[in-house]
Structure 1
Amino acid sequence: MEIPEKLLKFKFHILSAITLCSSILLIIYLAPRFLNIIKYFWPLLVSTALFLVAVFVLGRISPPAVSASDEKAAEGLLDYVAGQPEQLQAAVEEIQLQEESFRAQ
């Protein structure tokens, strides 16, 4: 009498496990085979692999990081494009002063 009572205690767990297993088996049975999926998507997979190889190669042969003088030239261009160079220049100077005071500490 003890076993049926314990089984009734876990009836929802058992039913959910049976439902989950049966749904997984049904999906496996109805799903297309793995090789069929690979055959269908092989152009996409090859082009993605070639793109990743190109990104890796270009990353390896790209020029080194820009120097500080290049960054200042780019800041001037960005200030001009933004249209408010006076406000931006004041903000840049304030940030530079904060960085210098931080470095001095």
Structure 2
Amino acid sequence: MDIQQQLLKFRYHIGGALLVSLSIFSVLFLAPRFLNILAYFWPLFLSTALFLALVLFFAKTQTSPNSDASIPKPAEELLDFVAGHHHNPPLDAHKSD
């Protein structure tokens, strides 16, 4: 009877150990191997790596924003006009005598 009381005392520990053992078994024997996963997803990994390399390349070769201050930007003027931040011309500019 003493053994059964000890087993009942540690029932959560035994259940946790069985659960961990079962999960390790399922990962080792039932899950696909890492090389199989890598072989399936290598195009995705390659395209992601190339995209990140291009982002880093363009980030390094981009000029600083202060150097092109003298270049006119007609797109910004158009965006300001569409956004409603355009200035109104003087009223006498359209008068005809």
TM-score range, shorter chain: 0.5 to 0.7
Task: Name the CA shift for 1:75/1:5 in 2 (closer, same or farther; >3 Å).
Answer: farther
Q: 1:39 corresponds to which residue?
A: 39
Q: 2:83 corresponds to which residue?
A: 82
TM superposition score normalised by structure 2:
0.61
Offset of residue 64 of structure 1: 0.8
Higher helix share: 1
Written as runs of structure 1 = structure 2, the 5 A alignment for 1:1-105 is: 1=2, 5-66=5-66, 79-83=80-84, 85=85
Identity %: 48
Deviation per residue, 1:50-75 (Å, 9 max, x gap): 111111111111111347x68xx898
Offset of residue 19 of structure 1: 1.5
Structure 1 gaps of 5+ residues are 87-105
Structure 2 gaps of 5+ residues are 87-97
- Give the Cα separation in 2 of the matches to 1:80 and 1:8: 78
Q: Report the count of equivalent residues.
A: 81
TM superposition score normalised by structure 1:
0.57
Deviant stretches of 4+, over 4 Å? 73-79
Specify the SS of the correspondent of 1:45.
helix
RMSD value over aligned CA atoms?
Answer: 2.9
Using CA pairs under 8 Å that are at least 6 residues apart, name the structure with larger relative contact order, 1 or 2: 1
